[in-house]
């Protein structure tokens, strides 16, 4: 049943892809025979989402409050949505406000898409998410945490981890702080990298055993208390590149690979969905692990859990739990949804439908002025 849907995001900075779009095709500095790929702007992606929901009968408005709480609350009370499509990932330069904003929807009693505050808060802390996953008996790479607090050890010597390891800022996502240099092969390089990440990001550091195997992403969808549907797997494919020291470069999704269409990393990676050449038993194992992790973390509506397959044991290890993966057309989540036989618009309608159904089932009147 269609409803009034308020799409909320919060982006304060200018979209760099807007500037790229305005400049037109640019040659790659490292290969002038090629031009940088065209990347959709955030405004285009939001317009696509709004168009699809409108085509399915919803009354849709998009609001970007640009860090202004009055605009955010004003949009909720004025538009009086039956459901909010929550695309807010930060507010006021404080990542904690990602889950505080979801808490605001809770207080207003307005149904919204995606995970609730507790799960959003947990997933912002990679080390705590890993602790929950490990305590559930699910496989995740062995790790240590460096707090960065004065007096605490900066690079543990007795860590017991097997090299190579990957060093990541613990409170980020979207590959922030992930570079090829994040993968280190000995204690000296580890200590230097930990100091670098502490200085650069000013937050706890996660040191994790590097799993040099296939990377598979498992998207899931489901609004009720039961098990979500695990969708066909997406595989990240990396080209074989040799570093200046003659050693193969690590195959990882760096920040540049994800976001900078002018970088070399961007073109060293591709995705394939559904993954091919994968045993049905492994797909079933990955789906089962992902669904158990969904329940352990408390995910809702849609999520993506990224894993690596240990080449020695064939066992999937959880790398990353994404409670609010990008829903853009053609993005990893939507590739998986489409591979399951859904359409982009149908998937958005399904996700919004979960929130609308919760609103109908609760029978609770939102704490906002009647329209
Ligand atoms: N333990 C690991 N072993 C191998 N690759 C890893 C490991 N941890 C992270 N990576 C690589 O780095 C990427 C980003 O790490 P991830 O933990 O998913 O951070 P983010 O939340 O920023 O996406 C992963 O998609 C993967 O390619
Ligand atoms: Mg990730």
The model's pLDDT over 292-343, given as tens digits with 9 standing for 90+, comes to 999 999 999 999 999 999 999 999 999 999 999 999 999 999 999 999 999 9
Ligand at minimal distance from the CA of 168 is 1
* pLDDT grade for 370, boundaries at 50, 70 and 90: very low
What's the CATH architecture for 4-114+350-362? 3-Layer(aba) Sandwich (3.40)
Instruction: Count the Cβ atoms, other than its own, within 10 Å of residue 242.
Output: 9
Helix (H, G, I), strand (E, B) or coil at 75: helix
Residue 270 β-bridge partners: 237
**242 DSSP β-pair partners:** 248
User: Residues with Cβ within 6 A of ligand 1?
Assistant: 141, 166, 168, 172-176, 178, 208-211, 215, 252-253, 306, 308, 319-320
Question: What's the average model confidence in pLDDT over 198-208?
Answer: 95
Query: Which sequence spans correspond to the domains of the chain?
Result: 4-114+350-362
pLDDT band at 277 (very low <50, low <70, confident <90, very high): very high
pLDDT band, very low/low/confident/very high, at 371 (cuts 50, 70, 90)? very low
Q: Residue 367: which pLDDT band, with cuts at 50, 70 and 90?
A: low
What is the model's pLDDT at position 25?
79
Hey, whose CA ends up nearest to atom 14 of ligand 1? Answer: 175
Mean pLDDT of 148-163: 86
164, pLDDT greater than 90: yes
Q: For atom 17 of ligand 1, which residue has the closest CA?
A: 320
On the 0-12 / 13-18 / 19+ scale of CB atoms within 10 A, 25 is exposed
pLDDT at 115: 98
Q: Is 14 exposed, middle or buried (0-12, 13-18, 19+ CB in 10 A)?
A: exposed
Contact (CB, 8 A) for 218 and 286: yes
Q: So what's the pLDDT on residue 368?
A: 64
Question: How far from the centroid of its chain's Cα atoms is residue 36's Cα?
Answer: 24
| CA of 320 relative to ligand 2 center, distance in Å | 5
Condensed to tens digits (0 to 9), the pLDDT of residues 79-130 reads 999 999 999 999 998 989 999 999 999 999 999 999 999 999 999 999 999 9
What average pLDDT score do residues 180-195 get?
Answer: 95
Q: Which distant-in-sequence residues (6+ apart) come within 8 Å of 362 by Cβ?
A: 109, 111
From the alpha carbon of 236, which atom of ligand 1 is closest?
A: 27
Phi, psi (deg, nearest 5) at residue 275: -60, 145
What's the confidence (pLDDT) of residue 369? Answer: 55
């Amino acid at each position: 049943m269609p409803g009034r849907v308020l799409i909320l995001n919060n982006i304060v900075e200018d979209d760099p892809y807007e500037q790229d779009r305005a400049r037109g095709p640019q040659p790659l500095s490292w290969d002038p025979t090629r031009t940088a790929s065209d990347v959709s702007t955030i405004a285009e992606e939001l317009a696509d989402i709004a168009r699809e929901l409108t085509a399915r009968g919803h009354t849709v408005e998009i609001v970007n409050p640009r860090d202004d709480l009055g605009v955010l609350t004003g949009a909720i009370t004025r538009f009086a949505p039956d459901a909010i499509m929550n695309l807010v990932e930060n507010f006021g330069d404080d990542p904690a406000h990602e889950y505080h904003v979801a808490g605001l929807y809770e207080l207003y009693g307005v149904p919204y898409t995606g995970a609730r505050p507790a799960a959003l808060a947990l997933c912002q802390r990679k080390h705590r998410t890993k602790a929950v996953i490990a305590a559930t008996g699910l496989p995740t790479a062995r790790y240590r945490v460096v707090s960065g607090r004065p007096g605490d050890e900066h690079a543990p010597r007795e860590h017991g981890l097997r090299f190579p390891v990957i060093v990541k800022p613990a409170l980020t996502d979207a590959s922030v702080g992930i570079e090829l240099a994040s993968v280190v092969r000995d204690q000296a390089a580890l200590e230097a990298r930990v100091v670098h990440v502490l200085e650069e990001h000013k937050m706890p550091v996660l040191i994790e055993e590097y799993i040099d195997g296939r990377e598979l992403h498992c998207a899931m969808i489901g609004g009720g208390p039961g098990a979500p549907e695990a969708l066909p797997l997406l595989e990240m494919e990396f080209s074989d590149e040799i570093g200046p020291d003659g050693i193969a470069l690590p195959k990882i999704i760096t920040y540049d690979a994800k976001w900078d269409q002018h970088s070399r990393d961007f073109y060293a990676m591709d995705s394939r969905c559904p993954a091919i050449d994968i045993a049905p038993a492994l797909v079933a194992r990955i789906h089962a692990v992902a669904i158990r992790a969904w329940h352990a973390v408390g995910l809702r509506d849609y999520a993506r859990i990224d894993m690596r397959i240990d080449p020695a044991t064939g066992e999937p290890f959880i790398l990353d739990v994404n409670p609010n993966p990008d829903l853009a057309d053609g993005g990893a989540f939507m590739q998986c949804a489409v591979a399951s036989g859904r359409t982009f618009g149908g998937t958005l309608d399904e996700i919004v439908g979960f929130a609308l159904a919760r609103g109908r089932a609760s029978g609770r009147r939102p704490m906002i002025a009647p329209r």
